[in-house]
Chain A
Amino acid sequence: MANFIGLIRNENMKIYRRIGSIIMLLLLVGGIILMGVIEKTTTEKANDANWKQAVTKEIKEDKKTLNEKLPDDIKKHVKRNIAINEYRLEHNIKPIQSDSLWGFVDNTSDLVSVISIFTIIIAGGILASEFSWGTIKLLLIRPVSRTMVLFSKYIATLLYAVFMLVVLFAVSWILGGILFGFEGVSAPYLAYTDGKVVEQNMVLHIMSTYGLNCISLIMMVTFAFMMSTVFRNSSLAIGISIFLTMGSSIAIQILHKYDWVKYVLFANTDLTQYTTGTPLVEGMTLGFSLTVLAVYFIIFVALSLVVFNKRDVAA
């Protein structure tokens, strides 16, 4: 075990002492700052004093829409809105504006997809570069199994994602506070479950947003890791993984009328389809998606392990 921690420390050392990883970190921080500046300079200050009027108006409009002929899932969404807004009026809880601390943190959670891409870049290179540098020969002639070498690289890659998520949260929170004030820090998140509105801790809500986005992150990072292990070519692994990550949602939307689409990885990475939206293909359930994800995950990991363990190292 001490040995395995040593391996992870080695991988961390090789990740963080390279300029590329630092640049990606700076890009992330730069992205957050940019979003903050845009928010601060372009959004008009919402009229705080009159929020109750605005909410009341919204409820009225929503109720009107409910009488129209609309698909069930849209009606469900509207009902949710009404319930939450009524709860706000009742308990005097101001809506979260995008120019508030939590509104900003919520907005920057979109940057998780950028972290996905950065982590894919790390995953695609972490083994392939050892081959291109020639250092793989010195790495594999130690009393450590190849499986452990591979696992340490995989864990270090995921730790990089965790590190970037922590940076995303911390920088967004601090910058949000500086730009929009810390007074809204105790505002709760209003969740709507089983027809009831419940107050939730905002940090918990952000964490679950990050978490849901991370499913796609983990799957694509594992995919990139597998590609680079099998083909030993980091550009190929990174290129294909990023292309699939970005292009998949469009492709899935086009193909969703076919039943077999539900077995495609990307049809299952967005689990919010079971909480707030509708399933992509009728009959898909959360359990089904989790099973599909697990099968893909096991295939990716097993393929990496088998190929890496058998491979002749001739770099």
Chain B
Amino acid sequence: MTRIEGDSALIVTREKDRITNVIYNMPTARDFKGVIIGQQVKDLPKIVPRICGICPVAHRIGAVKAIESASEVSIPPVAELLRELALLGEIIRSHTYSVFFSTLPDIMYLTDQISRQDILGIDRTQPRLLPIAIKLYNCAETLITATAGNTNMAFNLIPGGLMQNITITQQQELIQQLHATLSGIKWTKEYYGWLLNEIEGEIQKYTLPQPRYISCFDTHKNRFYGTDQIEFISEDGSQSKFSCAEFSEFLVEQDLPEAPTKIIYAESNKRLNNLLAGPHARLAALQTKSTKSKESLRNIPNLFYSGLLRIDEIEFAITNAIKLLETEWQTGEDVSVALEPQISIGASAVEAPRGTLLYRININDVGRIEDIDIRVPTELNASAITLIVKKVMTACLDLGWSNDQILERAKMAVRCFDPCVSCATHTDIRFRD
């Protein structure tokens, strides 16, 4: 697979006119569990950002929130606000990569806009897009650096709160830089919407049947920082909730026989199901809050709309970051509370760009990590990825397409999920010969 973060491959079995099996294989193992167990608790936030180069802030926040939950401390409101701002920066950065480098080349290719299916192909046809992408990416990195300390380790975010607050000068500069990106993202949204209209017929096969959304998005405060309650939302808008401390009971991991990684399914539905995390799920959570009608959720689970939802979330992140900086942020040095890790268990949930990220840690009597369980969004989405790929390939096969054409469409379907393979291969590993 190309234009995906990390190393993955699709393995498809075709028997005559049937697709009999699809495996989304993530062959690289990264033993973070082995690295983490035995480390001092306070080192956990320094290690986990290395799980993923595109969402290190979400991992850092997952770790510090889990430590804080184990120590039963509440952090000052300004610390939570700056963490949210750092996450908004990460949403902008990650979605910018996904939209401009991964899905736009596909959708422009489908609409015959480009022949070379990448950012260079885009630049030759629509030179407005690359500068917009670069401006967004840079703005996101400035926002993350100001609030989290740096773009890859987020070392300003510590157990107990923050190392330091931002200054008024930084606040003003951030607001200015964020404003300057708005026209570009609005233009991109219109352009993407136009492209989608052009291929309405083609994309129907990318609709996920009866999705079951999972989200911890805080719909009261509108924050990716999340709540401790995880929501399952069905297509008809019905909801069920569980506490993030109990996630191992509700989200069961299953080994993939062909890979050192795992997929996750919901315990109440033991067959491989259509669990979907990420922008679709967050929208479902928001819509369920505003109206419980089935009508409001219509059309969401089409995977080609994911790109549009990501553009929406970029715009939301920019406008919300401006609002938080202008109206809620406060100066002051009271940004953390003291914390000494005790023997205990802690858990956390946060919305990473790709969806719900869950942490659970056991701390032993000498302040070291005894055990850790991390569930990442790409594991949550893994069964839906194989399901949609099979559906798309079967539809293409019925149209009599060649293997190459069919595989191309399958890869597009995978990219719509924006899978984060580096993240997903972090887990309990098994070694093959």
Check if A and B associate.
no
Residues in B lying within 8 Å of A, measured CB to CB: none
Residues in A lying within 8 Å of B, measured CB to CB: none
